[in-house]
């Protein structure tokens, strides 16, 4: 029995110090594509069809409004905290608001204000501040251009 144990231990290699080489901050995440975003958005719209909607007033929501809304969400979340995209979508009351929010996310990714990350396969999709986040919003020009594009 001791001989078998010795053979097993010789054939199994483990390094208990491997954890000291891994940084807790190193989280490469998974690559998210536009198709993943569109698929998640489609699933949200399907779920939204089944829930009751009570519209009190029909206020128009613009993409620029939603960009400001997302910026406020990042401010409220705190520094270096992600904003989970599905939770934000579920808070919207109308399909129009969801579509405007989706376009706002795409615009913010295009402007390199945020990046999209997913920690686990089939996990929740998160928006993370890009290093250019503050620089993008320093001047109001990008948002003014977006307001012109989506009229």
Range of the domain at 112: 29-149
Q: Give a yes or no: residue 4 inside a domain.
A: no
Tell me, yes or no, whether 101 lies in a domain.
Answer: yes
CA atoms within 13 A on the CB side of 86: 15
Rounded CA separation 82/61 (Å):
24
Find all residues with CB under 8 Å of 21, minimum gap 6, and list them.
none
Residue 50 covered by a domain: yes
pLDDT at 56: 61
Q: What SS3 state is found at 127?
A: strand
Answer yes or no: is 15 within a domain: no
DSSP type of residue 19:
G
Domain assignment present for 2: no
The 10 Å Cβ neighbour count of residue 102 is 21
φ and ψ at 126, to 5 degrees? Answer: -120, 150
In a domain, 69, yes or no: yes
User: Is residue 70 one of the residues assigned to a domain?
Assistant: yes
Q: DSSP character for 30? A: B
With contact defined as beta carbons under 8 Å apart, do 127 and 70 qualify? yes
Q: What is the pLDDT of residue 117?
A: 86
Domain CATH number, residue 54: 1.10.10.580
pLDDT in tens, the chain (151 residues): 888 887 777 777 666 665 666 555 555 566 677 788 888 888 888 887 777 766 666 568 888 888 889 988 888 877 778 888 888 988 888 888 899 999 999 988 888 888 888 887 778 888 888 888 888 777 766 676 777 776 6
Q: State pLDDT tens for residues 3-44.
A: 888 777 777 766 666 566 655 555 556 667 778 888 888 888
pLDDT of residue 78: 77
Q: How many domains does the chain have?
A: 1
Is 21 domain-assigned? no
């Amino acid at each position: 029995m001791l001989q078998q144990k010795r053979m097993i231990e010789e054939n199994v290699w483990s390094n208990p110090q491997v954890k000291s080489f891994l940084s807790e901050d190193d989280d490469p995440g998974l690559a998210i594509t536009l198709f993943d975003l569109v698929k998640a958005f489609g699933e949200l719209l399907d779920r939204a069809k089944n829930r009751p909607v009570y519209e009190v007033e029909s206020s128009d929501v613009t993409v620029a409004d939603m960009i400001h809304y997302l910026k406020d969400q990042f401010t409220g979340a705190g520094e270096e905290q992600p904003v989970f995209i599905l939770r934000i979508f579920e808070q919207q009351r109308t399909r129009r608001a969801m579509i405007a929010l989706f376009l706002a996310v795409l615009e913010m990714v295009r402007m390199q204000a945020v990046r999209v990350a997913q920690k686990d396969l089939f996990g929740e999709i998160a928006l993370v501040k890009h290093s250019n986040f503050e620089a993008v919003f320093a001047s109001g020009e990008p948002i003014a251009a977006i307001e012109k594009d989506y009229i």
